[in-house]
């Protein structure tokens, strides 16, 4: 008799975005003339850079002729892409990462999910709260989370580190021993960043305790402050304690094209085993490499023209983020993130619950956001807005929210 992985039964429903979709659809049906502006889901909208498009067309043509055809590629990614990553994302920042420490994949979500394969079931996992749900759910599936407590909305064996305005969005070191620590900077959902000093503290902690940091840098391209690290490997000691996830999704608009990569340094050893060798074995056994066409497209962002085009798109989103942050601040709201991130994290006015404020924004401003509570209990009292929309729509959404709050303050 086949037995199932019973950890799946413990998972609560994947509620957040489906509930947003349900409420939005219900409102739109009741108000067919309302023009809703979507600032909820963190998906890009700008087209791929022309250099990327040209590279993908050329790669498709490669597959169209026997002489230039590419079959199975290296599971770890093609040298042309791994070399470009090593040079431009690391060497250019004075970080020595070898191409064979880089594993190209179909995206950071896959890697963040699959990385658990190389760790034992009995590790204690620490996450920030609020948190990108994939970190928690994948560990729950693997049996590391214990049981889900519907009262606290937390898993019994996960260590949650509140990350709120009260601690300047910099989580404190945990009071109990932890083994795997997820950090995300620039952060999803809060849009805030971890300073060099904060990261050094975590690296020192991990090295001292033989923990491993799983560092999600999917949004690093949005960093504007020169003092903020783009990679955890800018921090001395990180190579012996950290794995880093990178994505072309937000960097270069690859949410539909699919490509990312993970760095596992050769110096990262636990229980006598190289995690680089283990991840290599995992990927060569359970993965067959990212698409040749897409890897060619990704490599194009490292050309001078590709880099300039990608920067232009990032600047477009950055301008939206500024529009949102400045507009909502002017309307009297407490706003975080945005400076180094496409996400704006906004405290709800007068202690309103985040789902209640979501409803008001939907119904009174016709703007769709994401309730902070959907990212964990410490997200209650916040909403997330994203800068990935049209510039005019973004301005209009901010104006609508301002008017809504003005009208209320006059009541």
Binding residues among 132-161 for a second copy as defined by CB under 8 A: 134, 137-138, 141
What minimum distance in Å lies between the beta carbon of 144 and a second copy? 11
If one asks whether residue 291 binds a second copy (CB under 8 A), the answer comes out as: yes
**Binders of a second copy among 196-215, rule CB under 8 A?**
209-212
What minimum distance in Å lies between the beta carbon of 96 and a second copy? 23
Q: Given the rule CB under 8 A, which of 23-31, 108-116, 226-234, 344-352 is the region that contacts a second copy?
A: 108-116
Among 39, 131, 217, 290, binds a second copy (CB under 8 A): 290
Which DSSP category does 335 fall into?
A: E
User: Closer CB to a second copy, residue 47 or residue 236?
Assistant: 47
Q: In this structure, are residues 344 and 325 in contact, taking their beta carbons and an 8 Å threshold?
A: yes
What minimum distance in Å lies between the beta carbon of 72 and a second copy? 5
Place of tokens 């055809």: 69
What minimum distance in Å lies between the beta carbon of 318 and a second copy? 17
Place of tokens 């993970």: 262
Name the helix (H) or strand (E) containing 55.
Answer: helix 50-63
If one asks whether residue 22 binds a second copy (CB under 8 A), the answer comes out as: no
Place of tokens 């800018």: 234
User: Closer CB to a second copy, residue 20 or residue 211?
Assistant: 211
What minimum distance in Å lies between the beta carbon of 83 and a second copy? 19
**Binders of a second copy among 37-56, rule CB under 8 A?**
41, 43-48, 50, 53, 56
Q: In this structure, are residues 77 and 290 in contact, taking their beta carbons and an 8 Å threshold?
A: yes
What minimum distance in Å lies between the beta carbon of 170 and a second copy? 22
Distances 202 to 164, 168, 180 between C-alpha atoms, Å: 18, 16, 11
Q: In this structure, are residues 163 and 196 in contact, taking their beta carbons and an 8 Å threshold?
A: no
Among 157, 284, 303, 352, binds a second copy (CB under 8 A): 284
User: By rule CB under 8 A, what count of residues binds a second copy?
Assistant: 78
Among 145, 235, 293, 387, binds a second copy (CB under 8 A): 293
Specify which residues 182 forms β-bridges with.
Answer: 214
If one asks whether residue 120 binds a second copy (CB under 8 A), the answer comes out as: yes
Rg of the Cα atoms in the chain? 22
**Binders of a second copy among 346-385, rule CB under 8 A?**
none
Calculate the CA 307 to chain-centre distance. 21
If one asks whether residue 117 binds a second copy (CB under 8 A), the answer comes out as: yes
Among 14, 31, 152, 156, binds a second copy (CB under 8 A): 14
Alpha helices in 64-107, H assignment, sequence order:
79-85
Residue 303-342 contact track with a second copy, rule CB under 8 A, x = bound: ----------------------------------------
Which DSSP category does 361 fall into?
A: I
User: Closer CB to a second copy, residue 48 or residue 401?
Assistant: 48
If one asks whether residue 228 binds a second copy (CB under 8 A), the answer comes out as: no
If one asks whether residue 61 binds a second copy (CB under 8 A), the answer comes out as: yes
**Binders of a second copy among 262-281, rule CB under 8 A?**
270-271, 273, 275, 278, 281
Which DSSP category does 352 fall into?
A: -
Q: In this structure, are residues 180 and 212 in contact, taking their beta carbons and an 8 Å threshold?
A: yes
- Residues whose CB falls within 8 Å of the CB of residue 321, separated by 6 or more in sequence, listed in order: 191, 222, 337, 338, 339, 341, 342, 343, 344, 387
Among 90, 119, 317, 382, binds a second copy (CB under 8 A): 119
Buried b (16+ CB within 10 A) or exposed e, 378-400: bbbbbbbbbbbbeeebbbbbbeb
Beta strand pairing call for 212-216 and 180-184 = parallel
Among 287, 322, 334, 399, binds a second copy (CB under 8 A): 287
Structure tokens at 114: 């699959």
Beta strand pairing call for 37-38 and 367-368 = parallel
């Amino acid at each position: 008799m086949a037995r199932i992985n019973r950890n799946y039964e413990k998972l609560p429903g994947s509620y957040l975005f489906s509930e947003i979709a349900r409420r939005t659809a219900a409102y739109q049906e009741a108000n067919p003339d309302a023009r809703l502006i979507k600032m909820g889901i963190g998906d890009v909208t700008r087209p791929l850079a022309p250099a990327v498009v040209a590279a993908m067309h050329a790669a498709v043509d490669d597959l169209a002729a026997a002489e230039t055809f590419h079959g199975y590629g290296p599971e770890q990614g093609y040298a042309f892409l791994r070399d470009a990553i090593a040079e431009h994302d690391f060497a250019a920042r004075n970080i020595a990462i070898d191409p064979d420490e880089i594993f190209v994949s179909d995206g950071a979500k896959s890697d963040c999910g699959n990385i658990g394969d190389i760790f034992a079931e009995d590790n204690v996992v620490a996450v920030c709260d609020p948190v990108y749900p994939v970190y928690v759910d994948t560990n729950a599936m693997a049996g590391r989370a214990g049981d889900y407590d519907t009262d606290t909305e937390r898993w019994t064996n996960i260590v949650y580190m509140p990350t709120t305005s009260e601690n300047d969005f910099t989580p404190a070191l945990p009071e109990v021993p932890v083994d795997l620590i997820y950090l995300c900077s620039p952060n999803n959902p809060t849009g805030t960043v971890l300073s060099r000093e904060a990261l050094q503290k975590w690296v020192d902690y991990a090295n001292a305790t033989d923990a491993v940091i799983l560092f999600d840098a999917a949004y690093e391209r949005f960093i504007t402050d020169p003092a903020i690290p783009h990679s955890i490997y800018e921090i001395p000691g990180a190579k012996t304690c950290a794995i880093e996830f990178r994505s072309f999704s937000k960097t270069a608009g690859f949410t539909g094209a699919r490509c990312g990569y993970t760095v596992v340094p050769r110096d990262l050893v636990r229980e006598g085993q190289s995690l680089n060798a283990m991840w290599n074995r995992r990927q060569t056994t359970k993965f067959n490499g990212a698409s040749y066409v897409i890897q060619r497209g990704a490599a194009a962002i490292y050309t001078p023209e590709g880099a300039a085009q990608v920067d232009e798109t990032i600047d477009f989103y950055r301008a939206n983020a500024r529009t949102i942050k400045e507009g909502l601040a002017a309307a009297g709201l407490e706003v975080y993130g945005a400076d180094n991130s496409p996400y704006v994290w906004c405290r709800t006015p007068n202690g309103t619950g985040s789902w209640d404020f979501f409803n008001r924004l939907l119904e009174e401003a016709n703007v769709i956001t994401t309730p902070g509570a959907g990212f964990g209990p410490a997200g209650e009292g916040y909403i997330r807005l994203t800068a990935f929309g049209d510039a005019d729509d973004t301005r209009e959404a901010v104006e609508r929210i301002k008017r809504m709050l003005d009208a209320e303050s006059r009541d």
